[in-house]
Amino acid sequence: MDLSPLAKGIASSSEKAGNTLEAKNTKIEESGLPPEVQELLKRIAEYREKLKEKQQELQDVMQDQSLGDEQRQAKLNALQEAINSLNSALQEAMSQLNKIVDQMDLDDGAVIEMMSLAMS
């Protein structure tokens, strides 16, 4: 079944907005950056997405009135541990990206695009 022109337009603008991990990966693939840079950028985008999810879960647990104090604390501790782990992985990936940039002779435009993709 084909999408209506309106549905296609909505899907297209959603992709352009880069709201989904899939859309971010597509933008990274279309960037023309070297493959090893693209892979790191995809990993960074994935870590950022997972961090957002865990931070939302953290908010949800803090607002969940049905949890007892011990239950809440246990869930908060587990989520905080996951967030710390993701932050460490994100920092490591950013560090690897910086090393690659230093080793490659990328022009300023490529570096700016890469950093923009890493931060989106």
Distance CA 111, CA 103 (A): 12
pLDDT above 90 covers a percentage of the chain that reads 49
Q: Tell me which DSSP letter residue 107 carries.
A: -
The pLDDT of residue 79: 96
The pLDDT of residue 75: 95
Indicate the angle between helix axes 108-119 and 35-63, nearest 10 degrees.
Answer: 30
- Whether pLDDT at 76 is above 50: yes
Instruction: Give 88-103 pLDDT, tens digit per residue.
Output: 999 999 999 989 888 8
Which of 17-21, 68-72, 78-82, 116-120 is predicted with the least confidence, judged by mean pLDDT? 17-21
pTM across the whole model: 0.76
- Whether pLDDT at 1 is above 90: no
Which of 2-16, 73-87, 97-111 is predicted with the least confidence, judged by mean pLDDT? 2-16
